[in-house]
Amino acid sequence: MILDALIILIKLALVLGMIMNLAGLLTWAERKQSALMQDRIGPNRANIFGFTFYGLLHPIADGIKLITKEDFIPARANKAIHSLAPAVAMFPALVTYAVIPFGDILRVGGREINLQVADLSVGIIFIFSIASLAIYGVMLGGWSSHNNYSLLGGLRAAAQMISYEIAMGLSIVGLLMIYGTVELDDLVRQQGYLIGGWLPQWGIVVQPAAFFLFLCAAIAENKRTPFDLPEGESEIIGYFLEYSGMRFGMFFLAEFADIVVASALLTTLFFGGWQIPFLMADGFHLPGGFSLALPHLLVVVLQVAAFGLKVVFFCWFLLLVRWTLPRFRYDQLMRLGWKYLFPLTLANIFITGLIVLALA
């Protein structure tokens, strides 16, 4: 019993550590990557004895700065809600990760450990329900600051997130129809099957349109360029205008944690989660009949590493998108969400339904 609890605690620590560290690293990656994309050098000033570690000390310096900065609350702000909002914004990003499987079942000493913090039967639905709570963080932050710009930013954010949540939710439906499950570990396991004996049955393969729709909606949900109207830090300023110090840092980190979650979701739903093509529980089985037996522990480690790499790739990809595309106008944003993404998702469901019926 105690061992069970301990295992869960370890998994929790692993998952939380992974998200938080990735989010922290992403603050560095964002700056360094944007610099490289724009032919600049990027952060290079923070150093220890002259060693800059490619600017990797900057997130640490930022953390120290944010924590030691004045924690300012506007005089007429609602103190309780103003203090609560960053935590509310951070919460969904951390909790959604609970149901994402980062590896196959690990068998150690006769125990079967599911590499997933919580194997919920509702799976993906849990993720969407929690993700929709993220609106509260930004809304409360914007509203409680007693600042018109914050409030408008919060309203923009709420309108945008609600609009794109629909597209995001519906874009998954086709996938669920094909795999016939909402449990994420099941979903990933099904993606390990091969179509015609050589093509992995990944989400991207069976639902390419859904992938684009989901990607689009996920970026919008993250409130990142080209959908960063709620923030627009350089021009229109957003819901966290009145935040300073680590409270601002929480919003900031929540955004990066959201990137990690979005990457993990993209990986899990469309890129086979922890699956490596042709790697079965006992080793590689290539289409040509060639096979390579591997010990169980190595297979699990490979799978977890594959999952991590895929997540990191998508983090990189999301940053690439953020630093490539210009921002939408608000009417364009709403038009895209309601007039294009929403009908397209419906069409995707309809066509998928027809195909599933035809194949059945």
The residues in 243-282 that bind another protein, with binding defined as CB under 8 A, are none
What is the SS3 assignment for 37?
helix
Sole binder of another protein in the list 10, 13, 325, 347 (CB under 8 A): 325
d(Cα 105, Cα 179) in Å, to the nearest integer?
Answer: 20
Residue 283: enclosing H or E segment and its boundaries? Answer: strand 283-285
Q: Which amino acid is at 305?
A: A
Sole binder of another protein in the list 25, 44, 128, 133 (CB under 8 A): 44
In the complex with another protein, the residue whose CB is nearer, 39 or 235, is 39
Stretch that binds another protein, among 38-46, 60-68, 193-201, 277-285 (CB under 8 A): 38-46
Sole binder of another protein in the list 125, 321, 334, 355 (CB under 8 A): 321
CB of 27 to another protein, least distance (A): 18
Q: Is 47 in the site for another protein (CB under 8 A)?
A: no
Rg, Å, the chain Cα set = 22
* Total count of residues recorded for the chain: 360
Stretch that binds another protein, among 29-37, 78-86, 166-174, 264-272 (CB under 8 A): 29-37
CB of 157 to another protein, least distance (A): 23
CB of 203 to another protein, least distance (A): 18
CB of 316 to another protein, least distance (A): 9
Q: Tell whether the torsion through CA atoms of 296, 182, 344 and 97 is positive or negative.
A: negative
Q: Which amino acid is at 90?
A: M
Phi and psi angles of residue 3, each rounded to the nearest 5 degrees, phi first: -65, -40
**Planar angle of CA 137, 142, 146, nearest 5 degrees:** 135
d(Cα 95, Cα 206) in Å, to the nearest integer?
Answer: 28
Q: Given the rule CB under 8 A, which residues bind another protein?
A: 33, 36-41, 44, 212, 320-321, 323-325
